[in-house]
Amino acid sequence: MSSPIILEVSGDYALFSRPEMKVERVSYDVITPSAARGILEAIYWKPQIRWIIDRITVINPIRFTNIRRNEISKKASSPNAALVNQGGNDNLGIYVDQERQQRASLLLRDVRYLIHASVHILDTRLDRGGEKVPANQAAGKHLEMFKRRARKGQAFHQPYFGCREFPVAFKLHEDDSEVPKPHESLLGEKDLGFMLHDIEFDQNPKTKAVKSTIPHFFRAEMTDGGITVPALPFKI
């Protein structure tokens, strides 16, 4: 069964950091489902929906390159922020000149993917008037709104490949005959190892505050450039 959304995304560089690399950033071989979902949400998002990534197709050959980037060695901590909110005189500012560090990154270059996705309805109420509609009708309306925005190149914020300095160019495919084919070097089967699937947020049901985050992984296997993404292992 084909997905209702096929979005082509491309860029000069991409960095989907592996969590097991503690200091130097090392990218996965391909885009992760959570990163793909972030691109879709940058184009169109509503609290009533959740994007589901069904399949990822790699178009360009997988190529890596090394760069060094300026980063900072620390970040603002939650305890300090809470202290300031309570009237304390702690300083939340970070002086870049004092905290700057150069770190190496192993990233992808000249990337191009097809994101096959569908929409999951969390709430069948539509924004205008809050009326209840059938789930399939609500899904169709949200998909049409996404397609309209994608055709015009509109986005709530600039989508990116893992880091904000690596912007994404996107194009909606509505005709299967125009969909590009994977490069011949991607033909065959390849085991990409364990990859981040998505992150489950454990929230307080009353305040909606996040109590903890649980990462979920899956064994990514690429066949002729395509990766079938399994269903989410947790309740949305």
The pLDDT-based confidence of 202 (bands split at 50, 70, 90) is confident
Paired residues of 65 in beta bridges = 107
For residue 182, the enclosing domain spans 5-68+105-228
Q: How far apart are CA 196 and CA 93, in angstroms?
A: 32
Q: For 199-210, what is the mean pLDDT?
A: 75
Residue 185 within a domain: yes
Q: Kindly state the average pLDDT of the residues 30-51.
A: 95
pLDDT digits (tens, 9 = 90+) for 52-79: 999 999 999 999 999 988 877 777 666 6
Considering only residues 92 and 122, tell me which one the structure prediction assigns the higher pLDDT. 122
If you ran DSSP here, which 8-state letter would residue 179 be given?
Answer: P
Q: What is the CATH number of the domain that holds 195?
A: 3.30.70.2660
Tell me if 193 is assigned to some domain.
yes
**Do the Cβ atoms of 152 and 159 come closer than 8 Å?**
no
Q: What is the pLDDT of residue 1?
A: 46
Distance CA 111, CA 168 (A): 10
Contacts of 203 (CB under 8 A, 6+ apart): 209, 210, 211
Whether pLDDT at 146 is above 80: yes
Residue length, the chain? 236
Instruction: Tell me, yes or no, whether 21 lies in a domain.
Output: yes
Its pTM stands at 0.85
Residue 82 within any structural domain of the chain = no
| Rounded CA separation 138/146 (Å) | 13
Q: Is residue 196, in this structure, part of any structural domain at all?
A: yes
Name which of 133, 113, 4 is nearest 58 in CA terms.
113
β-pairing, 210-223 vs 226-228, is antiparallel
Please report whether residue 214 resides in a domain.
yes
179, part of any domain: yes
Name the DSSP class of 177.
Answer: G
pLDDT > 60? residue 128: no
Q: Which tens digits make up the pLDDT trace of 148-196?
A: 999 999 999 999 999 999 999 999 998 877 899 999 999 999 999 999 9
21-41 average pLDDT score:
93
Assigned domain for 64 exists: yes
Average pLDDT, the chain: 87
Please give the pLDDT value at position 220.
96
How many domains does the chain contain in total? Answer: 1
Structure confidence at residue 47 as a pLDDT band (50, 70, 90) = confident
